[in-house]
C-alpha cells in the first residue's frame, strides 16, 4: 500500500498539550481569515433575504428600516450564509468547496505524539512548527527530502507503518471546527463566531444570542433554500 503523509508532526507526549493548543489556535485563525476574505463576495441578493426575514420576524426590527437592519446585520448574515454553505458541503463531500470542518488526529506511540491535520490545507499549510516538535511526514511515491538521512527515512517508514496498521485503536481526534453533525451546535461554532464577527459592543452580544435563538426563527431554513 502506498503511503503519502505529506504533512505531519511529531513531539514528545510531555509537549503535546502545548502543541495541541498552538495548532488549534492557528487552524481556527486560518479558517476565520479565509472566511473574512470571502465574506464580501456573497451576493447581496442572498443578504437581502436575511434582512427581509429579520424585518418580518424579529420584534427588535419592527420599527427599523431595511437600511438600519443592513447596517447591524450585513456581516453577520454573510457569515451565516458561509456557515450554511459549509454545512451543505460538509454533508456532501462531492461538492466540498466551502467545507470548513478541520482538525487533527493524534497517534500515541512509544512516548511520542504523531499529529496529522485534516480539512482545508489553508488551515495548516503555514503553521510555524514550534522548536520542541518536528515535521514528520513520510511518503514512498517520490524521493525523500534531501535533509533526511536514509536511516531516518526508514525509521519513519517503520513508525508510520505500525501506526497505520492500528490507526483506529491509536487515534485521538480533535475537531477545531465541525459543522457536519449539527450546524447550530457543532464543535466550536460559538467560539468561531466570536472571533469571526468584528466587535460591536451590545450589537455583537445580541448577534451571538441570536445565532442560537434563530433556530426557532427559521432564518437558517430560509437561507438554506437559497444556497442549496
Contacts for 144 with CB less than 8 Å, ≥ 6 apart? 150, 153
3-state secondary structure of 109: strand
Tell me the per-residue pLDDT of 28-72, one tens digit each, with 9 for 90 and over.
999 989 988 888 999 999 999 989 988 888 888 889 999 998 888
Question: How much of the chain, in percent, has pLDDT values that exceed 90?
Answer: 41
CA Rg value for the chain: 21
Q: Residue 177 forms beta bridges with which residues?
A: 102
pLDDT of residue 226: 78
Number of CB atoms found within 10 A of residue 121's CB: 12
C-alpha cell read off for 96 = 466540498
Q: For residue 130, which of 216, 26, 5 has the smallest C-alpha distance?
A: 26
pLDDT at 204 over 60: no
pLDDT digits (tens, 9 = 90+) for 146-181: 999 999 999 999 999 988 888 777 789 999 988 776
Strands 9-12 and 4-5: unpaired
Higher-confidence position of 25 and 179: 25
Q: What is the DSSP secondary structure assignment for residue 187, as one 8-state letter?
A: B
**What is the average pLDDT value for the chain, to the nearest integer?**
83
- In this prediction, residue 160 carries a pLDDT of 93
Q: In the chain, what percentage of residues exceed pLDDT 70? A: 82
Residues 103-128 have a mean pLDDT of: 94
Lowest mean pLDDT among 59-68, 109-118, 125-134: 59-68
User: Which domain covers residue 133, as residue numbers?
Assistant: 1-228
Q: How confident is the model at residue 190 (pLDDT cuts 50, 70, 90)?
A: low
Residue with cell 534531501: 146
Domain count, the chain: 1
Tell whether the model's pLDDT for residue 194 goes beyond 80: no
pLDDT of residue 23: 97
**CA distance linking residue 184 with residue 177, whole number of Å:** 12
CA dist 24 and 192 (Å) reads: 12
Confidence of residue 212 (pLDDT cuts 50, 70, 90): very low
Confidence of residue 98 (pLDDT cuts 50, 70, 90): confident
Amino acid at each position: 500500500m502506498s503511503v503519502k503523509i505529506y504533512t505531519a508532526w511529531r513531539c514528545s507526549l510531555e509537549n503535546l498539550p502545548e502543541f495541541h493548543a498552538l495548532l488549534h489556535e492557528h487552524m481556527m485563525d486560518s479558517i476565520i481569515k479565509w472566511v473574512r476574505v470571502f465574506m464580501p463576495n456573497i451576493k447581496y441578493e442572498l443578504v437581502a433575504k436575511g434582512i427581509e426575514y429579520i424585518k418580518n420576524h424579529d420584534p427588535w426590527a419592527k420599527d427599523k428600516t431595511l437600511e438600519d437592519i443592513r447596517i447591524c446585520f450585513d456581516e453577520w448574515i454573510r457569515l451565516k450564509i458561509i456557515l450554511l454553505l459549509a454545512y451543505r458541503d460538509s454533508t456532501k463531500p462531492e461538492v466540498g468547496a466551502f467545507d470548513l470542518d478541520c482538525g487533527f488526529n493524534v497517534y500515541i506511540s512509544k512516548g511520542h505524539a504523531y499529529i496529522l491535520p485534516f480539512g482545508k490545507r489553508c488551515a495548516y499549510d503555514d503553521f510555524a512548527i514550534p522548536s520542541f516538535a518536528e515535521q514528520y511526514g513520510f511518503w514512498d511515491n517520490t524521493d525523500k527530502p534531501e535533509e533526511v538521512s536514509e536511516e531516518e527515512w526508514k525509521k519513519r517508514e517503520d513508525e508510520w507503518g505500525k501506526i497505520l496498521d492500528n490507526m483506529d485503536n491509536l487515534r485521538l481526534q480533535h475537531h477545531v471546527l465541525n459543522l457536519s453533525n449539527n450546524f447550530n451546535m457543532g464543535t466550536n461554532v460559538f467560539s468561531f463566531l466570536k472571533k469571526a464577527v468584528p466587535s460591536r459592543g451590545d450589537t455583537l452580544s445580541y448577534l451571538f444570542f441570536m445565532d442560537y435563538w434563530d433556530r426557532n426563527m427559521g432564518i437558517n431554513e430560509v437561507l438554506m433554500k437559497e444556497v442549496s
